[in-house]
Amino acid sequence: MNRTRRLERALGDWCRARLPHYLSELVMFTLKQGWAAIFGILLLGGLLVSSRIWQADWALARYDALLIYALGLQAVFLITGMESTREARVILLFHLTGTIMEIFKVQAGSWAYPGAGVLKLWGVPLFSGFMYASVGSYMARVIRLFDMRFAPYPPTWMASCLAVLIYVNFFSHHFLPDIRLALFVATVVIFIRTRIWFYIGGHAYWMPLPLAAFLSSFFLWVAENVGTRTRTWLYAGQDSDHWVSLAKMGSWYLLLYVSFVTVTLVVRDALSAEAFRPSGPSGIRRNPASAAQPPSAQ
C-alpha neighbours within 13 Å on the C-beta side of residue 43: 27
pLDDT at 75 exceeding the cut of 80: yes
* Domain annotation covers residue 247: yes
Is the pLDDT at 250 greater than 90? The verdict is yes
Residue 12 lies in a domain: no
How big is the CA angle at 146 (ends 98 and 11), to the nearest 5 degrees?
120
pLDDT tens digit sequence for 123-143:
899 888 888 888 888 998 899
Tell me if 252 is assigned to some domain.
yes
The answer on pLDDT for 282 being more than 60 is no
Q: How confident is the model at residue 3 (pLDDT cuts 50, 70, 90)?
A: low
Residue 12 has φ and ψ, to the nearest 5°, of -60, -45
Identify the weakest region by mean pLDDT among 18-32, 54-68, 108-122, 245-259: 18-32
State the chain's mean pLDDT as an integer: 85
Residue 30 inside a domain? The answer is no
Rounded to the nearest 10 degrees, how much is the dihedral formed by the CA atoms of 108, 44, 217, 75? Answer: 90
In a domain, 61, yes or no: yes
Contacts of 49 (CB under 8 A, 6+ apart): none
In a domain, 279, yes or no: no
12-25: average pLDDT: 78
Percent helix, strand, coil in the chain, to 5, is 60, 10, 30
pLDDT in tens, 225-238: 998 899 888 888 77
pLDDT greater at residue 266 or residue 62 = 62
Q: Which of 19-28, 104-113, 248-257 has the lowest mean pLDDT?
A: 19-28
Which range (8-22, 189-203, 220-234) has the least confidence?
8-22
> 141 is in which domain, residue-wise?
37-270
156 CB contacts (<8 Å, ≥6 apart)?
none
| Number of domains observed in the structure of the chain | 1
Does the pLDDT value for residue 285 go beyond 70? no
pLDDT tens-place string over residues 167-192: 999 999 999 999 999 999 999 999 99
Report pTM. Answer: 0.84
Half-sphere exposure of 229 (CA within 13 A, CB side): 13
